[in-house]
Structure 1
Amino acid sequence: MSAIPGLGLKKPAAATSGSDEDVELYESRKQIYPQSISGKFRNIKWTLLAVGMLVYYFLPFVRWDRGPDQPSQAVLVDLGNGRFYFFGIAIWPQEVYYFTGLLILASFTLFLMNAVAGRIWCGYLCPQTVWTDLFLLIERWTQGDRRDRMKKAKQPWTLETVVEAILKHSLWLMIAWWTGGAWVLYFADAPTLVKQLATFQAPAQAYIWILILTASTYLLAGFAREQVCIYMCPWPRIQAALTDEWALNVTYRVDRGEPRGSVKKAKALRLEGKPAGDCVACDQCVVVCPTGVDIREGLNMGCIQCGLCIDACDNVMKKIGRPTGLIGYDTDINVQRRAAGLEALKPQIFRARTLVYVALILAVSAAMAFSLATRRSLGVDVMHDRNPIFVTLSDGSVRNGFTVRVLNPKGYERAFKLSLEGLPQGRLTVLGEPAGDEAGVPVVAPPDQTLELRVMVTVPGDVQMPQSTPIQMVLTDAKTGERVAKADYFKAP
Structure 2
Amino acid sequence: MSASDSSPSLYAAREPVFPRRVSGSFRRLKWILMAVTLGIYYVTPWLRWDRGPGMPDQAVLVDLANRRFFFFMIEIWPHEFYFVAGLLIMAGLGLFLFTAALGRVWCGYACPQTVWTDLFILVERWVEGDRNARLRLWHQKTWDLRKLRLRLTKWGLWLLIGLATGGAWVFYFADAPTLMRDLVTGQAHPVAYTTMAILTATTFLFGGFAREQICIYACPWPRIQAAMMDENTLTVSYREWRGEPRGKLRRAEEGVQRQGDCIDCMACVNVCPMGIDIRDGQQLACITCALCIDACNDTMDKIGKPRDLIGYLALKDEAVERAGGHPRQIWRHIFRPRTMVYTLLWAGIGIGLVVALFLRSPFDVSVAPVRNPLFVTLSDGAIRNTYEIRLRNKQAEPRDFHLSADGLPGVIVTAEGAEAATVRVPADATGEVRLYLVAPAGSEGATADRSDIAIWIEDMTSRDRVETDTVFHGRGN
TM-score range, shorter chain: over 0.9
Gaps of 5+ in 1: 1-15
* Corresponding residue number in structure 2 for 1:408: 393
Per-residue deviation, 1:18: 12
Correspondence 1:377 to 2:357: no
Mapped contact 1:112–1:358 kept (Cα < 8 A): yes
* Corresponding residue number in structure 2 for 1:57: 42
* Corresponding residue number in structure 1 for 2:270: 287
Report how many aligned residue pairs link the two structures: 469
Helix, strand or coil: the match of 2:172?
helix
Per-residue deviation, 1:378: 2.1
Mapped contact 1:230–1:301 kept (Cα < 8 A): yes
- More moved, 452-461 vs 23-32: 452-461
Mapped contact 2:453–2:469 kept (Cα < 8 A): yes
- Separation of aligned partners in 1, 2:134 and 2:127: 10
* Corresponding residue number in structure 2 for 1:366: 351
* Corresponding residue number in structure 2 for 1:467: 449
Structure 2: which amino acid aligns with 1:446?
P
- Separation of aligned partners in 1, 2:373 and 2:326: 78
- Separation of aligned partners in 2, 1:94 and 1:339: 58
1:414-433 correspondence to structure 2 within 5 Å:
414-431=399-416, 433=417
Mapped contact 2:375–2:473 kept (Cα < 8 A): no
Helix, strand or coil: the match of 2:288?
coil
Per-residue deviation, 1:374: 2.5
* Corresponding residue number in structure 2 for 1:100: 85
Pairwise CA RMSD = 2.0
- Separation of aligned partners in 1, 2:171 and 2:3: 63
- More moved, 278-287 vs 341-350: 341-350
- More moved, 122-131 vs 31-40: 31-40
Structure 2: which amino acid aligns with 1:126?
C
Mapped contact 2:166–2:200 kept (Cα < 8 A): yes
Q: Which runs of 4+ in 1 moved over 6 A?
A: 16-19
* Corresponding residue number in structure 2 for 1:180: 166
Per-residue deviation, 1:352: 0.4
* Corresponding residue number in structure 2 for 1:32: 17
* Corresponding residue number in structure 2 for 1:388: 372
Correspondence 1:201 to 2:181: no
- Separation of aligned partners in 2, 1:19 and 1:262: 39
Correspondence 1:41 to 2:29: no
Mark the CA change 1:285 to 1:473 in structure 2 (over 3 Å): closer, same or farther: same
Per-residue deviation, 1:76: 1.0
Gaps of 5+ in 2: none
* Corresponding residue number in structure 2 for 1:114: 99
- Separation of aligned partners in 2, 1:471 and 1:306: 63
Mapped contact 1:419–1:473 kept (Cα < 8 A): yes
Mark the CA change 1:71 to 1:62 in structure 2 (over 3 Å): closer, same or farther: same
Mark the CA change 1:285 to 1:389 in structure 2 (over 3 Å): closer, same or farther: farther
Residues 291-349 of structure 1 show CA distances to partners (whole Å, capped at 9, x for unaligned) of 11111111111000001100111111111111110001111111244456655333321
- Separation of aligned partners in 2, 1:442 and 1:346: 67
Mapped contact 2:60–2:172 kept (Cα < 8 A): yes
TM superposition score normalised by structure 2: 0.94
Per-residue deviation, 1:459: 2.7
Correspondence 1:223 to 2:215: no
* Corresponding residue number in structure 1 for 2:5: 20
Mark the CA change 1:32 to 1:417 in structure 2 (over 3 Å): closer, same or farther: same
Per-residue deviation, 1:480: 2.9
Mapped contact 1:390–1:398 kept (Cα < 8 A): no
Helix, strand or coil: the match of 1:415?
strand
Per-residue deviation, 1:274: 4.0
Work out which of the residue numbers 156, 164, 174 in structure 2 matches 1:170. 156
Mark the CA change 1:164 to 1:382 in structure 2 (over 3 Å): closer, same or farther: same
Mapped contact 1:389–1:491 kept (Cα < 8 A): no
Mapped contact 2:241–2:322 kept (Cα < 8 A): yes
1:133-282 correspondence to structure 2 within 5 Å:
133-155=118-140, 156-264=142-250, 267-268=251-252, 272=255, 274-282=257-265
Mapped contact 2:415–2:422 kept (Cα < 8 A): no
TM superposition score normalised by structure 1: 0.91
- Separation of aligned partners in 1, 2:276 and 2:409: 77
Helix, strand or coil: the match of 2:159?
helix
Mark the CA change 1:107 to 1:467 in structure 2 (over 3 Å): closer, same or farther: farther
Per-residue deviation, 1:63: 1.0
Structure 2: which amino acid aligns with 1:129?
T
Correspondence 1:329 to 2:309: no
Mark the CA change 1:137 to 1:19 in structure 2 (over 3 Å): closer, same or farther: closer
Mapped contact 1:381–1:406 kept (Cα < 8 A): yes
Helix, strand or coil: the match of 1:490?
strand
Work out which of the residue numbers 437, 450, 465 in structure 2 matches 1:457. 437
Per-residue deviation, 1:98: 0.9
Per-residue deviation, 1:83: 1.6
- More moved, 375-384 vs 98-107: 375-384
- Separation of aligned partners in 2, 1:329 and 1:277: 19
- Between the two proteins, what is the percent identity of the paired residues? 45
- Separation of aligned partners in 1, 2:368 and 2:117: 53
